[in-house]
Structure 1
Amino acid sequence: MSTATTPGLGADHLAHVAESATPTVHRGGEERHGIRRGLGILVRIVLCLVFGLPLVFMFVSSFKPDLQIFSDLGNIKAFLPVGDISLDNYSGVFGRVPFAQFMMNSVIITVVTVVLGIVVNSMAAFALARIGFKGGGIVLGIILATLIVPFETLALPLLWWSNKLPFLGPEGFTEGWLDTYQVQIIPFIANAFSIFLFYQYFDSIPKELDEAAKVDGAGWFRIYRSIVMPLSGPAVATVAILTFLPMWNQYLWPLMAVQSEELRPVMVGIDYFKQLNTSWGQIMAYASIITAPVLVLFIAFQRAFINSIASSGVKG
């Protein structure tokens, strides 16, 4: 009788042990998940402070006079809108520089460069990725090799060549592109990194679509315009954003190639506040104004930006 009941008691005992052990394992997993989540939140907070506090300091300082900016540097007041707060710095910005002209110049230069850059770089990448001509790999390698050359090493030769190019302007045929819009746009249309991004994305699109289009009588340009580009929205968004940011922040090249005030972009306008008496409050106000459009655009399209980067074939 006891022999018959022992297995049953053993099975009940094992079931009880298993039931009592399962919550412990589950609690351990929850604890580890909670720790990882807490560390993740802590890292995000630290990153927000590292990248956000300089922007907060810039914006808050734009409302303070210079003396208060320096007196608040040693404490938390530097990040708080306290003390002598006013809009005098902003009114001083518009009185000291032709801000509307600078802003319009930057918008024109940036938008034209982004649009032409998407067209030119995508067509170059399409030829390399889809047409597959002989020596295409060598051409792509040469294009990518230009990424290791810093712009500062090319600035002076580029300036010399730009001054030798023919130009048909309002005064007739002249020599030299200096002090024009095109000298700020054309040298930056073709971009090796943009070509590489488009190449990666185009190469991932099935080439069977090209064959099907050829059967219907489509040529290469029709395939590019009607098939490949409509499927490349994430790559287009990535290239547009990564072209917009450096063009909006362009400083060295306009400073070298542009002398007329009516053609200068917004970044060069900061130099106006360093002449004679430096006004740090006005510099902060000016920087806040020209930074606001970039922040608004990024906040509005941050999800599209992250998705475009994730799906554009950029791999570490």
Structure 2
Amino acid sequence: MTSRAFKTLRTLAAILILLCVLIPLSMMVTLSLNPSEENIQISMGTIHAFIPQTVSLQNYKEVLQDPYQPFVRYLLNTLLVVFCTVGAGIFINSAAAFALAWGQGGYRKIYLMVIIAVFVIPGEALTIPLLLLVGKLGWIDSYQVQIVPFIASTFSIFLFYQFFSKLPQELIEAARIDGARLFQIYFRIAFPLSAPVVATISILGFLDAWNSYLWPLMVTRGTEFRPLGVAMAAFFGTQQAYWGNIMAFAVLMTLPIIIVFLIFQKHFVASVVGSGVKG
């Protein structure tokens, strides 16, 4: 296969993937802008479901003003859970990874083996024991039950460890000679250099926490602490006939994810391409 044919094939594959992503999104946005449920039902399965014929914000207004499913409350709950989980997780997991990479003592390899072993265990297998534990602590239907169990992440620790372990040894030794302690080296040198990894963890952690459904469904009881993932399912169950409202709810839930990715995409791509430190 020639280089030109390969580039053409790669371009066609990229266009196909792009269409697979954009077609459902275009349908979601188009139906959310259609205020007539009757027209939505008629347009289903036709080209009109993907091309806006009518533009109205009526569905968005109804979603935001619904007294039984308070979207703003769900949004604030989700933002609080996501930012606390991701923010605390970045510092705790990165500090643990740096200690494993450059700390002293033979415990480091043992801990790393345990972390890798825990990483391959399905999260669902730990759900019931974790549920019993938080029930004993009296955390059911609260913010901390959605935050604390997920701050520590084996994946984040391993990703940070891979980055920190590639730092030049001369850099760490020079800091030690200058009298810097391990935490000072981490906070002043290592952590600022790990921006690509932080961006990757931020995006992946944000997506994971934002789309969380099973655990919040088990530990929340009402609208006071319910996040958007559970609220979306509850909204769908009570509004099955109103597809315009459902699509408007979905669009509003998707927008923060797109915004976060646009903010961190440069660092995210840089981390995917290669976050190693060149000597």
In 2: Cα distance, 1:34 partner to 1:309 partner: 26
% identical equivalent positions: 44
In 2: Cα distance, 1:154 partner to 1:253 partner: 11
SS of the aligned residue for 2:212 comes to coil
2:44 pairs with one of 62, 69, 73: 73
In 1: Cα distance, 2:32 partner to 2:56 partner: 9
Opposite residue 261 of structure 2, the aligned amino acid is F
Contact preservation (8 Å) 2:199, 2:268: yes
Contact preservation (8 Å) 2:220, 2:226: yes
Higher RCO (CA 8 Å, separation ≥ 6 residues) = 2
Give the alignment's Cα RMSD to 1 decimal.
Answer: 1.8
Q: 1:264 Cα shift?
A: 1.3
1:241 pairs with one of 203, 220, 230: 203
Asked if 1:95 is matched to 2:65, the reply is yes
In 2: Cα distance, 1:280 partner to 1:194 partner: 38
Match of 1:127 in 2: 99
Q: 1:277 Cα shift?
A: 4.6
Contact preservation (8 Å) 1:200, 1:312: no
Q: 1:132 Cα shift?
A: 4.2
Match of 2:24 in 1: 54
In 1: Cα distance, 2:30 partner to 2:238 partner: 24
- Listed as ranges, the matches of 1:1-316 within 5 Å are 32-64=2-34, 65-82=36-53, 85-96=55-66, 97-165=69-137, 176-278=138-240, 279-312=242-275
Opposite residue 257 of structure 1, the aligned amino acid is V
TM-score by length of 2: 0.91
Alignment deviations for residues 92-125 of structure 1 (CA, whole Å, 9 cap, x no partner) = 2123221111111111111111111011101111
Q: 1:269 Cα shift?
A: 1.5
Who wins on radius of gyration, i.e. which is larger? 1
Contact preservation (8 Å) 2:203, 2:260: no
Q: 1:297 Cα shift?
A: 2.7
In 2: Cα distance, 1:274 partner to 1:294 partner: 20
Residue segments in structure 2 that go unaligned for 5+ positions in a row:
none
TM-score by length of 1: 0.81
Residue segments in structure 1 that go unaligned for 5+ positions in a row:
1-30, 166-175
SS of the aligned residue for 1:263 comes to coil
Contact preservation (8 Å) 2:213, 2:229: yes
Name the count of aligned residue pairs: 272
Q: 1:59 Cα shift?
A: 0.9
In 2: Cα distance, 1:93 partner to 1:259 partner: 21
Contact preservation (8 Å) 1:197, 1:312: no
